[in-house]
Amino acid sequence: MGTIKCIGILTSGGDAPGMNAAVRAVTRSAIYNGLEVKAIYRGYKGLITGEIETFRTQNVSNIIQQGGTILKTARCKEFMTPEGRQEAYETLQREGIDALVCIGGDGTLTGARIFATEHNYPIVGLPGTIDNDLFGTDSTIGYDTALNTIMDAVDKIRDTATSHERLFFIEVMGRDAGFLALNGAIATGSEAAIIPEIATEYDQLGELIKNGFRKSKNSSIVLVAESPLTGGAMAMAERVKNEYPQYDVRVTILGHIQRGGSPTAFDRILASRMGAAAIDALLEDQRNVMIGIQNDEIVYVPFNKAIKNDKPINRDLLNTLRILSI
Beta strands in the chain (DSSP E): 6-11, 36-40, 52-55, 99-104, 123-127, 167-172, 192-194, 220-225, 249-253, 289-294, 297-302
Looking at 11-19, 180-188, 234-242, 297-305, which segment touches ligand ATP (CB under 6 A)? 11-19
Residue 320 CB: number of other CB atoms within 10 A?
14
Residue 64 or 102 with smaller CB distance to ligand ATP: 102
Closest residue to ligand ATP in the complex (CB): 107
Contacts with 71 (C-beta within 8 Å, 6 or more apart), sequence order: 9, 10, 11, 19, 23, 39, 40, 41, 42, 43, 46
Looking at 109-117, 193-201, 205-213, 313-321, which segment touches ligand ATP (CB under 6 A)? 109-117
285 is catalytic: no
Taking the complex as a whole, the smallest distance from the CB of residue 4 to ligand ATP amounts, in Å, to 23
Strands 52-55 and 36-40, bridge-based pairing = antiparallel
* 125 sits near ligand ATP (criterion: CB under 6 A): no
Q: Which parts of 18-47 interact with ligand ATP (CB under 6 A)?
A: 44
Q: Are 128 and 97 in contact (CB under 8 A)?
A: no
Residue 11 or 219 with smaller CB distance to ligand ATP: 11
DSSP 316: H
Taking the complex as a whole, the smallest distance from the CB of residue 44 to ligand ATP amounts, in Å, to 4
Interface with ligand ATP (CB under 6 A), residue from 72, 75, 305, 311: 75
* 114 sits near ligand ATP (criterion: CB under 6 A): yes
Tell me which H or E stretch contains 188. Answer: helix 179-188
* 67 sits near ligand ATP (criterion: CB under 6 A): no
Q: Phi-psi bin for 96: left (phi > 0), alpha (psi -120 to 50), beta?
A: left
Interface with ligand ATP (CB under 6 A), residue from 67, 105, 174, 232: 105
* 119 sits near ligand ATP (criterion: CB under 6 A): no
Q: Which amino acid is at 132?
A: N
One DSSP character per residue, 3-14 reads ---EEEEEE-SS
Find residue 39's DSSP bridge partners.
9, 53
Residue 76 or 222 with smaller CB distance to ligand ATP: 76
One DSSP character per residue, 90-116 reads HHHHHHT--EEEEEESHHHHHHHHHHH
Number of residues that bind ligand ATP (CB under 6 A): 19
Per annotation, catalytic residue among 15, 98, 106, 131: 131
Residue 85 or 158 with smaller CB distance to ligand ATP: 85
* 288 sits near ligand ATP (criterion: CB under 6 A): no
Contacts with 162 (C-beta within 8 Å, 6 or more apart), sequence order: 218, 219
* 13 sits near ligand ATP (criterion: CB under 6 A): yes
DSSP 309: S
Taking the complex as a whole, the smallest distance from the CB of residue 35 to ligand ATP amounts, in Å, to 24
Q: Which parts of 142-181 interact with ligand ATP (CB under 6 A)?
A: 175
Q: Give catalytic residues, as residue numbers.
A: 131
Binding site for ligand ATP (CB under 6 A): 12-14, 44, 75-76, 79-80, 104-108, 110-111, 114, 129, 131, 175
